[in-house]
Structure 1
Amino acid sequence: MSEPTSRPALPDRLSADPRSPHHVAAVFEHDIGIRFNGKERSDVEEYCVSEGWIKVPSGKTRDRRGQPLLITLKGAVEAFYR
């Protein structure tokens, strides 16, 4: 087996939205997992490990720009590469 390519360190705060200042494109070249309160979540749009929150879409609701409305959930956040 060959060794995986070097991965950049996961930032403390990361956003999936490319318009956000917390978006790091190099991180999204790899598969990322988020564990929230001990359970793996696949619908996370943004997270902050030090502050302990994630933002997830609120159903099918959209804002006036067509982006999903996000709700903030607080708890233990762990980001990792799969």
Structure 2
Amino acid sequence: MPPADMRAKVQITNIAIYPTVGTPTQETLTFNFPSKEGAYPADGSDEDQQFAKFSPCGSLSLTVANPALIGKFKLDDKFYLDFTKAE
């Protein structure tokens, strides 16, 4: 597999579970690009700071219906999101 054309870092900021009553069959995960309240270190050593420098804002919503994945994601979990062009 060729290397990714772009890598972003995302953080789960919301999880909506469906149905709201009974056994969940789906979750909608909302991801935003991580940022920090307050100042980043002046030396640029914070990884979130490095990602925010080149991708300062963005969001992604993903609905998961795979029963094996429901309940596996937690608020504030962070992930790398690699973009590689599909042929």
- TM score, norm. by length of structure 1: 0.25
Structure number, greater radius of gyration: 2
* Higher fraction of strand: 1
- TM score, norm. by length of structure 2: 0.24
* Higher fraction of helix: 2
